């Protein structure tokens, strides 16, 4: 850690206020170029503590920047991990108020729900599949608090990996007989196809993202608890949306997920 607890708290306040006030800010490494990835995760943990102190609960976990398309789009080489909170969950088919967001983008994801805890180190795709209760289709709405989505790895981790809203579809399926690598997703914006992908776009297999999350948490003495909802990361690049837009993502074998931006 290169910063003291007071600086961690003040950077958490800086980023969380930007989120809650839907206001973009300068990336934190401009003023603090010495920050490390561990510092970024410490700031993210301080944001979690601030939300929990106000009565919010963690509703899930996420891996981000897990596809080549996303890594290329954002100019990074490794995945990141973040938190989803209760107020971020929007019903399938529901409305998302853009006035509460800065510059939202959407991405199609496969989400996992676990029936057993997952603990690293050494967690792998096989262990994730054995611990999976079912998978559900999902769309994540990301909304970096940084100007023009311009950030580095440390800054985006501190900003809770741009978590903002998420929508979960209503078809849940056990993974028996499913090949998540070839599972297709087609995203339509206002009725036009804007992105498509297969599950393998996420680190070769979306379960790999969950394994990497378990290994990341293990290095911090934590595990993924049974019952957790975890988003494996956008298979497609992220698509910008604005008020008036409708998004529908059709998932092979998993139904569809839709929302309207108002
Ligand atoms: O879920 C994601 O892949 C987003 C991670 C953060 C990067 C971004 O805001 O695009
Ligand atoms: Mg995502």
Whether residue 89 lies inside any domain: the answer is: yes
Instruction: Please give the average per-residue pLDDT across 122-144, as a whole number.
Output: 98
Give the range of the structural domain holding residue 226, as residue numbers without chain letter.
58-261
Structure confidence at residue 75 as a pLDDT band (50, 70, 90): confident
Whether residue 201 lies inside any domain: the answer is: yes
- Which whole-number Å values give the CA distances from 53 to 28, 41, 58, 86, in the listed order? 23, 18, 12, 14
pLDDT above 90: residue 90: yes
Find the 243 Cα to ligand 2 centroid distance in Å. 20
Q: State percent of the chain over pLDDT 90.
A: 92
Nearest-atom number in ligand 1 for the CA of 238 is 10
Instruction: Please give the average per-residue pLDDT across 122-130, as a whole number.
Output: 98
Q: What integer pLDDT is reported at residue 77 of this predicted model?
A: 81
Q: How far apart are CA 255 and CA 110, in angstroms?
A: 12
Q: What integer pLDDT is reported at residue 13 of this predicted model?
A: 98
**Atom 8 (ligand 1): residue with closest C-alpha?**
162
Q: What integer pLDDT is reported at residue 72 of this predicted model?
A: 81
Whether residue 167 lies inside any domain: the answer is: yes
Whether residue 11 lies inside any domain: the answer is: no
Find the 59 Cα to ligand 2 centroid distance in Å. 15
For residue 123, what is the domain's CATH number?
3.90.850.10
Q: What confidence tens digit (pLDDT) does each residue in 195-246 have?
A: 999 999 999 999 999 999 999 999 999 999 999 999 999 998 899 999 999 9
155 CB within 6 A, ligand 1: no
Q: What integer pLDDT is reported at residue 76 of this predicted model?
A: 83
Closest listed residue to residue 252, CA positions, set 167, 166, 169: 169
Indicate the number of domains in the chain: 1
Q: What integer pLDDT is reported at residue 74 of this predicted model?
A: 77
pLDDT above 90: residue 103: yes
Q: What confidence tens digit (pLDDT) does each residue in 172-193 have?
A: 999 999 999 999 999 999 999 9
pLDDT above 80: residue 2: no
**Is this model's pTM higher than 0.75 or not?**
yes
Q: How far apart are CA 14 and CA 232, in angstroms?
A: 27
233 CB within 6 A, ligand 1: yes
Find the 2 Cα to ligand 1 centroid distance in Å. 24
Q: What integer pLDDT is reported at residue 70 of this predicted model?
A: 77
Instruction: Please give the average per-residue pLDDT across 50-74, as a whole number.
Output: 92
Find the 238 Cα to ligand 2 centroid distance in Å. 8
Q: State percent of the chain over pLDDT 70.
A: 100
144 CB within 6 A, ligand 1: yes
Whether residue 232 lies inside any domain: the answer is: yes
Q: How far apart are CA 205 and CA 247, in angstroms?
A: 25
pLDDT above 80: residue 73: no
Whether residue 18 lies inside any domain: the answer is: no
SS3 for the chain is: CCCCHHHHHHHHHHHHHHHHCCCCECCHHHHCCCCCHHHHHHHHHHHHHHHHHCCCCEEEEEEECCEHHHHHHHCCCCCEEEEEEHHHEECCCCEECHHHCCCCEEEEEEEEEECCCECCCCCCHHHHHHHEEEEEEEEEEECCCEHHHCCCHHHHHHCHHHEEEEEECCCCECCCCCCCCCCEEEEEECCEEEEEEEHHHECCCHHHHHHHHHHHHHCCCCCECCCCEEECCCCCCCEECCCCCEEEEEECCCEEEEEEEC
Q: What integer pLDDT is reported at residue 182 of this predicted model?
A: 98
Whether residue 23 lies inside any domain: the answer is: no
Nearest-atom number in ligand 1 for the CA of 109 is 1
Q: What confidence tens digit (pLDDT) does each residue in 22-55 have?
A: 999 999 999 999 999 999 999 999 999 999 999 9
Whether residue 86 lies inside any domain: the answer is: yes
């Amino acid at each position: 850690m290169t910063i003291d607890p007071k600086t961690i708290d003040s950077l958490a306040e800086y980023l969380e206020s930007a989120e809650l006030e839907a206001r973009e800010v300068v990336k934190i490494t401009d003023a603090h170029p010495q920050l490390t990835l561990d510092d970024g995760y410490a700031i993210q943990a301080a944001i979690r503590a601030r939300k929990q102190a106000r009565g919010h609960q963690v509703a899930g976990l996420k891996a981000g920047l897990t596809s080549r398309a996303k890594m290329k789009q954002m100019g990074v080489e490794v995945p990141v991990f973040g938190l989803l909170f209760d107020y971020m969950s929007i019903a399938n088919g529901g409305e998302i108020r853009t006035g509460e967001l800065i510059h939202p983008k959407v991405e199609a994801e496969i989400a996992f729900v676990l029936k057993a805890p997952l603990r690293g180190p050494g967690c792998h795709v096989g262990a994730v599949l054995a611990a999976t209760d079912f998978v559900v289709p999902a769309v994540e709405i990301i909304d970096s608090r940084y100007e023009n989505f311009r950030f580095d790895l440390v800054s985006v981790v501190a900003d809770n990996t741009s978590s903002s809203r998420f929508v979960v579809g209503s078809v849940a399926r056990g993974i028996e007989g499913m090949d998540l690598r070839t599972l297709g997703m087609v995203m339509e914006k206002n009725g036009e196809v804007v992105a498509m992908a297969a599950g393998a776009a996420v680190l070769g297999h979306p379960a790999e993202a969950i394994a990497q999350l378990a290994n990341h948490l293990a290095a911090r003495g934590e595990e993924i608890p049974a019952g957790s909802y975890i988003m494996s990361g956008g298979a497609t690049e992220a698509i910008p949306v604005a008020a008036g837009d409708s998004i529908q993502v059709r998932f092979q074998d998993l139904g569809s997920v839709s929302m309207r931006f108002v």
